[in-house]
Chains A and B, each alone.
Chain A
Amino acid sequence: MTLRKYSVLTAIVLFSSLGEVSLSHGMKKIGAISLGRWTEALNAVTSPFVVLGIVLLLGFFAAYLTALSWADLSYVLPATALGYVVIALLSVWLLDETVAWTRWLGILLVSTGVGLVAGGPELTPARDPQTPRSDP
């Protein structure tokens, strides 16, 4: 269970962050789309980065639903917030962005929060009368 738990959580983090980076890279290459000519946005699906981004985000959604099928929402959502850190690190490495100390502090806080929640129990014990809870 633990190995499967962490592999699904890792899949959520990687699919969401790589998907967003790919999508955003593809959209920036296309350039600004005005709301008056929003149909131009349909051209976006011809960009390989946009298509890759959509496929990755679909993978994210499947993994997210899988995690929610056996873990609490208040566990899955914070445990996968590490995606924000991955996006920040990817933009540093790939785009050579300079990172202010406030951003490093943010990365530290998010990572601490993720570590805190991910190590805890993932599911609230069911209050089913047929399976009494182990705690008194």
Chain B
Amino acid sequence: MTALYTWTMIASVVVFSTAGDILLSRSMKTIGDLGALRRQRGLVHVLGRVLSCGAFLAGLASMTVAFFSLLVALSWADVSLVAPASASLTFVTTAVAARFFLHENVDRRRWSAALLICLGVALMSA
């Protein structure tokens, strides 16, 4: 039973960190090039734009849920299972989500990179 709970929490980490990344990416694309904006309008303006962006705040909230799911999972299972499992799966789910929700051109190069990194991160913590 504990294994089922642990994997549910790992799934929660993966889903919420993927959603968080998608929302953060979308919010930054709507604001535009932060470096250029800072040179034109100053750092305070950039901070104001970022912190008042709904998608950014939603992304941050999603990341927070992912973080607390990770803490809960860590309290049930070993760090050597939870950390690599959630980190490596996130690379693949993010590539899929970026393709469908952000309409990014995830070509063969990016797919292979996501799979290699997914496998590599899992091996590194094994």
Contact = CB atoms under 8 A, between A and B. Distances in A.
Interface of A: 4, 35, 64-66, 68-70, 72-78, 81, 84, 88, 100, 102-103, 105-114, 116-117, 120, 124-125
B4 to A, nearest CB: 21
Interface of A is mostly: helix
Interface string B89-126: 00100110011001111110110111111011111111
Interface of B: 21-22, 24-25, 28-29, 31-35, 50, 75, 87, 91, 94-95, 98-99, 102-107, 109-110, 112-117, 119-126
B44 to A, nearest CB: 14
Contact of A112 (B35, B98, B116, B121): B116
Given A35-B75, A78-B91, A103-B126, A70 B33 contact: yes
Smallest CB-CB A-B distances: 8 pairs: A109-B120, A106-B123, A106-B124, A113-B116, A110-B120, A117-B113, A73-B25, A74-B98
Contacts of A81: 91, 117, 120-121
B34 A74 contact: no
A113 B98 contact: no
A74 B116 CA distance: 14
A113 B113 CA distance: 4
B34 A65 contact: yes
Given A35-B75, A73-B98, A116 B106 contact: no
B109 A120 contact: yes
A68 B94 CA distance: 14
Contacts of B117: 78, 81, 109-110, 113-114
Contacts of B113: 78, 113-114, 116-117
Given A74-B114, A77-B21, 13 more contacts: A74-B106, A78-B113, A81-B91, A103-B123, A106-B125, A110-B116, A110-B120, A111-B120, A113-B112, A114-B113, A116-B112, A120-B109, A120-B110
